[in-house]
Amino acid sequence: MRIVIYSMLVLLIAIQYPLWLGKGGWLKVYEMEKQVELQEAKNSLLALRNAKLAGDVKDLKDGTRAIEERARAEHGLIKEGEFFVQILPVDKSAASTEIKQ
């Protein structure tokens, strides 16, 4: 009788092994689901970046407004007839010495 019980126990363990640890087991499925979730999060961030870049490309192709904006921001260019005014922050140490004198 013990032999039958032990053999059944061994068969039960042998059947459970592929279910939990095999190629398509629960643990592998759980790991793969986590990887899929991480990849979907990365993909959504990349999709947002791609949409922004597509908008920039469309602006650059369709009009001069984006080009003008970049020239102003990156190179400090101004249009003809415009005045450029730059306000510098006051140096506190120099201001305090001027007040004392």
pLDDT digits (tens, 9 = 90+) for 23-75: 777 888 899 999 999 999 999 999 999 999 998 888 878 877 777 777 777 88
- DSSP assignment letter at 86: -
Pair of tokens at residue 10: 């061994």
Q: Which of 42, 67, 71 is nearest to 57 (CA)?
A: 67
29 is in which domain, residue-wise? 24-75
Q: Residue 42: what pLDDT? A: 98
Does 97 reside within a domain? no
Q: Residue 37: what pLDDT? A: 97
Sign of the four-CA dihedral 18, 24, 26, 27: positive
* Residues 6 or more apart whose Cβ sits within 8 Å of residue 22: 28
Does 28 reside within a domain? yes
Total count of domains within the chain:
1
Does 15 reside within a domain? no
Does 62 reside within a domain? yes
Widest pairwise Cα distance in the chain: 109
Give this prediction's pTM. 0.48
pLDDT surpassing 70 at residue 96: no
pLDDT surpassing 80 at residue 88: yes
Neighbour count for residue 30 (Cβ, 10 Å) = 10
Q: Residue 94: what pLDDT? A: 62
Does 63 reside within a domain? yes
- DSSP assignment letter at 89: P
Tokens 């407004």, residue located:
65
pLDDT surpassing 80 at residue 84: no
Does 59 reside within a domain? yes
Does 89 reside within a domain? no
